[in-house]
């Protein structure tokens, strides 16, 4: 049911652009099927540096887009790219198959061309970037965006705070663990979550120089360090203030570690199949016991969204 028209109810000021040909060609006239002004948006010059931007008012899930040319004219866009942002300052390009995706646009001024996205986007701002247009005219565009409101639980970390998830019993011994979350940060280093046991077991996820590292130790502390410790690193430039998704699935020694769409499958070292953690898991840092506000390593500075540990919504639990 995520297919509401999101642009049509917006106020005129929600649509902006790189430039406009005349006031009658302003971006406020760029709504699908409307004939106001000159019948759509046209920039001052037709080149690949132009863009039409939509402020959707809040973070939403975008599942489809549609375009038209400028009403009753020879101005339309035959190919375009999409960029999206939460802030309106930092932008990402919409990709499919790890390549920047060019959407097929229009071949006349009034037919609607609709595209359902292979991967939905979560964003507040969306930009249409014309790549090609009618050779006998110029850039002309009317648009619609389809989707729905995006509900999420978000925790903000300021580099001095953390969330603690305390177990009902002293020791949590698990053969299977699933951790999922999204995060964004402008800091290249910081601990996202950590748990440890008195027998030497631990699991730590942390940003290190913009890469994400997962450290796991299964087994008794008497084992030689190199026999039981496993570290795997994924991603790069993850401190770009964009959302990145993380999924960690462990069953006995087998681990699937996914960052965005890239997965590393590996087998942990050590003699044990279970992870023994005492008392609690910490998210956003590793507190020093008995010293409130003191942390063992650099704390995470940024946002964590939809944080789940073995089916428990950690952020929602903290809000209660």
| Helix, strand, coil share of the chain (percent; to 5) | 5, 50, 40
pLDDT of 236 over the 70 cut: yes
Q: pLDDT (tens digit, 9 = 90+) per residue, 55-94?
A: 999 999 999 999 999 999 999 999 999 999 998 988 999 9
Phi, psi at 274, each rounded to 5°: -120, 155
Which residues, 6+ apart, have CB-to-CB distance to 320 below 8 Å? none
**36 and 79 fall within a common domain:** yes
**68 and 203 fall within a common domain:** no
Least confident of 7-11, 97-101, 139-143: 97-101
pLDDT of 293 over the 80 cut: no
Average pLDDT, the chain: 92
Write out the H or E segment, with its range, that includes residue 228.
helix 225-228
Query: Which structure tokens are listed for 300?
Result: 């995470």
**55 and 204 fall within a common domain:** no
Residue 291: predicted pLDDT: 60
**122 and 189 fall within a common domain:** no
**198 and 304 fall within a common domain:** yes
Residue 224: predicted pLDDT: 44
Looking at the chain, how many residues does it have?
320
Helix (H, G, I), strand (E, B) or coil at 105: coil
Average pLDDT over residues 222-235: 71
Residue 36: predicted pLDDT: 96
**304 and 180 fall within a common domain:** yes
Q: pLDDT (tens digit, 9 = 90+) per residue, 128-185?
A: 999 999 999 999 999 999 999 998 899 999 988 889 999 888 888 999 999 999 999 9
d(CA 162, CA 193): 9
Task: Count the neighbouring beta carbons within 10 Å of the beta carbon of residue 227.
Answer: 11
Q: How confident is the model at residue 288 (pLDDT cuts 50, 70, 90)?
A: confident
Q: How far is CA 137 from CA 77, 134, 195, 238, 265, in A?
A: 10, 5, 62, 41, 52
**11 and 126 fall within a common domain:** yes
Question: Strand ranges (DSSP E) for 52-201?
Answer: 52-68, 77-85, 92-93, 95-96, 99-100, 103-104, 113-133, 142-149, 154-158, 163-174, 176-185, 190-196
Q: What is the largest CA-CA distance in the chain?
A: 79
Tell me, what CATH number does 177's domain have? 2.60.120.200
Beta-bridged to residue 203, according to DSSP, are 195, 216
**80 and 119 fall within a common domain:** yes
Query: Which structure tokens are listed for 74?
Result: 């020879």
Q: How many independent structural domains does the chain possess?
A: 2
Q: pLDDT (tens digit, 9 = 90+) per residue, 242-256?
A: 999 999 999 999 999
**120 and 158 fall within a common domain:** no
d(CA 95, CA 246): 18
Could you say which of 149, 178, 209 is where a domain stops? 149
Q: How confident is the model at residue 225 (pLDDT cuts 50, 70, 90)?
A: very low
Tell me, what CATH number does 138's domain have? 2.60.120.260
**306 and 168 fall within a common domain:** yes
Query: Which structure tokens are listed for 157?
Result: 């970390």
Residue 2: predicted pLDDT: 94
**165 and 286 fall within a common domain:** yes
Provide the domain limits for residue 50. 4-149
Average pLDDT over residues 24-36: 98
**139 and 185 fall within a common domain:** no
| Exposed e or buried b per residue across 236-256, where buried means at least 16 C-beta atoms within 10 angstroms of its C-beta | eebbebbbbebebbbeebebe
Residue 271: predicted pLDDT: 76
Could you say which of 149, 173, 195 is where a domain stops? 149
């Amino acid at each position: 049911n995520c297919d509401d028209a999101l642009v049509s109810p917006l106020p005129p000021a929600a649509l902006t652009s790189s430039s406009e040909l005349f006031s009658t060609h302003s971006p406020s006239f760029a709504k699908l099927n409307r004939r106001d002004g000159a019948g759509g948006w046209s920039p001052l010059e037709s080149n690949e540096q132009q863009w039409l931007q939509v402020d959707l008012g809040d973070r939403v899930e975008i599942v489809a887009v549609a375009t038209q040319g400028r009403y009753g004219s020879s101005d339309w866009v035959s190919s375009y790219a999409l960029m999206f942002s939460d802030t309106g300052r930092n932008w990402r390009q919409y990709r499919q198959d790890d390549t920047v995706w060019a959407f097929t646009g229009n071949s006349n001024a009034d037919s609607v061309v609709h595209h359902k996205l292979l991967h939905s986007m979560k964003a507040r701002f969306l930009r249409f970037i014309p790549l090609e247009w009618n050779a006998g005219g110029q850039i002309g565009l009317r648009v619609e965006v389809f989707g729905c409101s995006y509900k999420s639980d978000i925790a903000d970390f300021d580099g001095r705070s953390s969330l603690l998830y305390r177990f009902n019993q002293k020791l949590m011994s698990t053969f299977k663990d699933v951790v999922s979350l999204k995060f964004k940060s402008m800091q290249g280093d910081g601990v996202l979550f950590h748990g440890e046991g008195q027998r030497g077991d631990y699991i730590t996820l942390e940003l290190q120089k913009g890469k994400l590292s997962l450290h796991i130790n299964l087994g008794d502390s008497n084992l030689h360090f190199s026999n039981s410790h496993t570290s795997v690193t994924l991603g790069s430039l993850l401190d770009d203030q964009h959302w990145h998704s993380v999924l960690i699935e462990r069953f006995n020694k087998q681990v699937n570690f996914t960052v965005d769409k890239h997965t590393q499958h590996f087998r942990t070292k050590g003699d044990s199949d279970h992870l023994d953690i005492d008392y609690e898991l910490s998210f956003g840092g590793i507190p020093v016991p008995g010293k409130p506000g003191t942390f063992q390593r650099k704390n995470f500075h940024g946002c964590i969204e939809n944080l789940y540990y073995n089916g428990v919504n950690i952020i929602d639990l903290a809000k209660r």
